[in-house]
Amino acid sequence: MSNIVAIVGRPNVGKSTFFNRLVQKRQAIVDNVSGVTRDRHYGKSDWNGNEFTIIDTGGYIIGSEDAFEVEIRKQVELAIEESNVILFMVDNQVGLTDMDKEVAQLLRKSKKPVLLVVNKVDSNKNIDDTYEFYNLGFEQFFTVSSQSGSGTGELLDEVVTHFDQGDHKDPFEGLPRVAIVGRPNAGKSTLTNALLDEERNIVTDIAGTTRDSIETLYNKFGHEFVLIDTAGMRKKGKVSEDLEFYSVMRAVRAVEECDVCVLMIDATRGIEAQDLNILFLAERNRKGLVILVNKWDLIEKETNTMKAYEAEIRNKIAPFNDVPILFVSALTKQRVHKTVEIIMEVNENRNRRIKTSRLNELLLPIMEITPPPAIKGKYIKIKYVTQLPTRTPQFAFFANLPQYVKEPYKRFIENQLRKHFNFTGVPIEVYFRQK
Ligand SMILES: Nc1nc2c(ncn2[C@@H]2O[C@H](COP(=O)(O)OP(=O)(O)OP(=O)(O)O)[C@@H](O)[C@H]2O)c(=O)[nH]1
Ligand SMILES: Nc1nc2c(ncn2[C@@H]2O[C@H](COP(=O)(O)OP(=O)(O)OP(=O)(O)O)[C@@H](O)[C@H]2O)c(=O)[nH]1
């Protein structure tokens, strides 16, 4: 279940300052693990044990005031469609502006909770100035200082009360959940149709109870999974999709709700920055991943075309490149069945559990022959390994001096795990702990 909080508001009110405050601590840790550069629009945070995703919808508005009108409308529509709670931020130092009123107008259409956040209230003596914001017509408002952090706690206490508590019944409990994502026009709808259309009798559409996702059961040829499709992704043409940011934001919810993410690439365009953003999103969320190079029917083939294409992709997505890459045509249904098989295999890999005895038998001798390099004359001794009881593959290695084990050695270990067990398409994590 995903909980997504979106921050909207006119430029310069402090959205990214607030965003950074929330994601900072955690992001530093996550980035360290994956080596991925921080996305300035998307991050993870938590409050009292409630994990959530925070999206900063700002920062890309360029050009004239007219352009602003259009952009802010898109921002707000996206926030309404894709998030669970919306934070509408205004600036107490500047006071109430016409732009704020326009944003408020758009937000009134939302059925999702909107919390008005008056930012830059740096000291209590500014509180009196905030009352003009009552004119925006929101029942409740919160005063914060993104710079110092004051007021954040009270705001978050309220935010988490609006989260999906997961108390509704999932009719597809236990089945793998699959999201098809990719840039506009990559062929997502065509693939969905190819998978589902012809055998209508075994296709059921169930609109999400508290969410807006549409979930469709795929059950053919002995394979069963749930295709998830968010309402926002389905509505076509409502928002122009030319900006990199939008296609990523549209993918956020689908990626969070899935077990396996199918990333579709248009073969005629190749893998692009947006695709990599979605891929990192899946990796950071520890989801299974399958890459489909679609529209392969349009490519002129010579010897090695496929090989070269594949090599280029693997190079671009490194270091996480133990990922299935399939060349398909959703239109002619070429290799669509194979795609299903691979999705199921990746899901199986993601659930793979390896016995502690087997891990130790295999890895201890390898680590004996190739130990981590000694640091300042100190030798690192790894005593045993175990897979953690987590939902996705994570391994703990117990050692005398875990702090001395560096990234390259962790990579080496990860590669050994991948060499001996099938974890294709699955991010795995390796931790070193004190023993
Ligand atoms: N005094 C004060 N200044 C703040 C506070 N929060 C943000 N600022 C300042 O306000 C300015 C704008 O902040 P940003 O976080 O970049 O604003 P934004 O809403 O993300 O702006 P866009 O990226 O243009 O959408 C910066 O100079 C911040 O330092 C605050 O709580 N108090
Ligand atoms: N030649 C060829 N065309 C394809 C293939 N798959 C999709 N197309 C075409 O590409 C166009 C876009 O396909 P869609 O399935 O609508 O793409 P989408 O990813 O759902 O697009 P958005 O909804 O805009 O995000 C359509 O004209 C399809 O007919 C393919 O395998 N081969």
**Which of 181, 183, 185, 269 has the most ligand 2 atoms within 8 A of CB, as the residue to mutate?**
185
Summarize pLDDT for 287-317 with one digit per residue, the tens. 999 999 999 999 998 888 999 999 999 999 9
Q: Would you state the pLDDT for residue 365?
A: 95
Alpha-carbon distance of 163 to 111, in angstroms, equals 14
CATH of segment(s) 3-162: 3.40.50.300
- Closest listed residue to residue 417, CA positions, set 395, 391, 384, 392: 395
Helix 15-34 vs helix 273-284: crossing angle, to nearest 10 = 70
Specify the CATH number for 356-434; select among 1.10.3720.10, 3.30.300.20, 3.10.450.50, 1.20.210.10: 3.30.300.20
β-strand partners of 399: 382, 434
Q: What is the CA radius of gyration of the chain?
A: 24
CATH number for region 177-351: 3.40.50.300
Sequence spans of domains, the chain? 3-162, 177-351, 356-434
Q: What is the pLDDT of residues 168-203, one digit of tens each?
A: 566 777 899 999 988 878 888 889 888 886 543 333
Q: How far apart are CA 134 and CA 276, in angstroms?
A: 43
Task: List pocket residues of ligand 2, CB cut-off 6 Å.
Answer: 182, 184-190, 236, 294-295, 297-298, 329-331
Same fold, 3-162 and 356-434: no
The protein residue with its alpha carbon nearest to ligand 1, atom 2, reads 120
Query: Beta strand 260-266 with 382-387: parallel, antiparallel or unpaired?
Result: unpaired
Q: What is the pLDDT of residue 204?
A: 38
Q: How far is the CA of 192 from the centre of ligand 2 (A)?
A: 10
Q: Report how far ligand 1's centroid is from the alpha carbon of 9 (Å).
A: 11
Residue-level pLDDT at 29: 41
Q: What is the pLDDT of residue 209?
A: 32
Residue 77 token pair: 């529509």
Least Cα distance to 195 among 173, 170, 172, 228 occurs for 228
Q: What is the pLDDT of residue 242?
A: 47
**pTM of the entire predicted model:** 0.75
Q: What is the pLDDT of residue 152?
A: 92
Q: What is the mean pLDDT of each run of 10 residues along the chain (435 residues)?
A: 85 88 61 43 83 77 61 79 90 92 89 93 80 86 91 93 72 87 85 71 35 71 84 44 59 87 95 86 92 96 90 94 96 95 98 96 94 90 94 94 92 96 96 90
Quick one: three-class SS letters along 230-297?
A: EHHHHCCCCCCCCCHHHHHHHHHHHHHHCCEEEEEEECCCCCCHHHHHHHHHHHHCCCEEEEEEECHH
Alpha-carbon distance of 332 to 421, in angstroms, equals: 34
Nearest CA residue ID for atom 11, ligand 2: 185
**Span from the CA of 228 to the centroid of ligand 1 (angstroms):** 36
> Ligand 1: does its nearest atom lie under 6 Å from the Cβ of 126?
no
- Tokens of residue 218, six digits: 């795929």
Is residue 85 exposed (0-12), middle (13-18) or buried (19+ Cβ within 10 Å)? Answer: buried
Ligand 1 pocket, residue 147 CB under 6 Å? yes
Residue 22 Cα, ligand 2 centroid: separation in angstroms? Answer: 38
